[in-house]
Amino acid sequence: MCQLGLANQDLLRRTLDHGLLSEARELKLLDHHLWGLLHFKTSAFDFVGEIASGSALLVGEGNLSFTQSLTRKNRIDPRNLTATTFEPHSELTDETQARAAKLKRLGVNLLHAVNATNLAASLGLRSYNSIIFQFPHTGSREPANGRNPNFVLLYRFLKSAKGHLRPNGKIFVTLVNSSHYTGAFQCEEAAKRAGLQPPEVYAFDPKAFSGYEHRMAHEDAGAIQHHRQFSTWVFRK
Residue 3: pLDDT over 90: no
Domain boundaries, the chain: 1-41, 45-236
Give the contacts of 100 (CB within 8 A, at least 6 positions apart).
64, 89, 92, 110
Q: State the Cα angle at 62 between 56 and 65, rounded to 5°.
A: 70
Closest C-alpha to 112, from 137, 136, 82, 132: 82
Task: With cut-offs at 50, 70 and 90, classify the pLDDT of residue 213.
Answer: confident
Q: What is the pLDDT of residues 62-76, one digit of tens each?
A: 899 999 999 999 999
Q: State the Cα angle at 129 between 125 and 131, rounded to 5°.
A: 80
135 in Cβ contact with 66 (< 8 Å): no
Q: How far apart are CA 143 and CA 159, in angstroms?
A: 19
Task: With cut-offs at 50, 70 and 90, classify the pLDDT of residue 11.
Answer: low
Q: What is the pLDDT of residues 175-202, one digit of tens each?
A: 988 888 788 889 999 999 999 999 999 9
Closest C-alpha to 61, from 3, 10, 6, 108: 108
According to CATH, the topology of domain 45-236 is Rossmann fold (3.40.50)
Global pTM reads 0.79
User: b/e for 173-195, b at 16 or more Cβ within 10 A?
Assistant: bbbbbbbebbbbbbbbebbeebe
Residue 180: per-residue pLDDT: 80
More confident residue, 230 or 144: 230
Residue 178: per-residue pLDDT: 80
Q: What is the pLDDT of residues 82-134, one digit of tens each?
A: 999 999 999 999 999 999 999 999 999 999 999 999 999 999 999 999 999 99
